[in-house]
Amino acid sequence: MVAVVDYGVGNLFSVEKALTTLGADVRVSGEESDLRAAEKIVLPGVGAFGDCMKNLTATGLIPALKEMMAQGKPLLGICVGMQILFDGSEESSQATGLGYFAGQVKKLNAPGLKIPHMGWNSLSIRDYAPLFSGLTAQSYVYFVHSYHAVPQDSSIIAATADYGEKLTAAVVKGSVMATQFHPEKSGDVGLAILKNFLRG
């Protein structure tokens, strides 16, 4: 079973639909027991970093999520669900992230380009990133964001994209992986990425 964390934010049901399309047994839930019973967890997120952390804190799930990530349970963060896995964000300076990935989330530096970055963009994929197994080097995915993560350790970056600057599109460390883009909105490429997560 794959648990999609329900904490009042995110594209819960579009993520659920995409995973169900791939044949996964999916449960959208904010219950700790469901997360612990799941083989894999998906942490979505849409909106402001601070709001997402406030809502997640209110669920009481943070200690359990940290414990399960530390124990090696596979987890996929999506969009702001990726950002809150870092230490903090310029968007919400008073909010503390989950801190699984060391680093900060910073506003995009894209002079002359529209912010938020919204639409399709190609990925530059690191050869060893299993999340992108079978994809071509210039696969296109769908972004909607104004901030991106800047990891302390660049070796965890699994893919980048260019939008005014080179931005972090995906990270992987241990059994935890995350994408700034929305795989559930990225057509066949997105489904292939989610399929790799389910297989991994």
Taking only the tens of pLDDT, the chain with its 200 residues reads 999 999 988 778 899 999 999 999 999 999 999 999 999 999 999 999 999 999 999 999 999 999 999 999 999 999 999 999 999 999 998 999 999 999 999 999 999 999 999 999 999 998 888 999 999 877 999 999 999 999 999 999 999 999 999 999 999 999 999 999 999 999 999 999 999 999 98
Active-site residue flag, 182: yes
| Active-site residue (options: 79, 117, 145, 148) | 79
2-199 maps to CATH 3.40.50.880: yes
Full DSSP string of the chain? -EEEE-SS-S-HHHHHHHHHHTT--EEEE--HHHHHH-SEEEE---S-HHHHHHHHHHHT-HHHHHHHHHTT--EEEETHHHHTTSSEETTBTT-----SS-EEEEE---TTS-SSEEEEEE-EE-TT-GGGTT--TT-EEEEEESEEEEESSGGGEEEEEESSSEEEEEEEETTEEEESS-GGGSHHHHHHHHHHHHH-
Side-chain-side CA neighbours of residue 1 (13 Å): 12
Q: Which residues pair with 150 in a beta bridge?
A: 104
Active site residue 52: no
The pLDDT, as a whole number, for residue 85 is 98
Alpha-carbon distance of 166 to 177, in angstroms, equals: 19
Angle at 31 between CA 26 and CA 35, to 5 degrees: 55
Instruction: Tell me what pLDDT residue 10 has.
Output: 73
> Residues 117, 145, 148, 182: which is the catalytic one?
182
User: What is the pLDDT at residue 103?
Assistant: 98
Told to judge if 79 belongs to the known catalytic residues of this protein, a careful annotator would answer yes
Look at residue 9 in the predicted model and tell me its pLDDT. 83
pLDDT of residue 127: 81
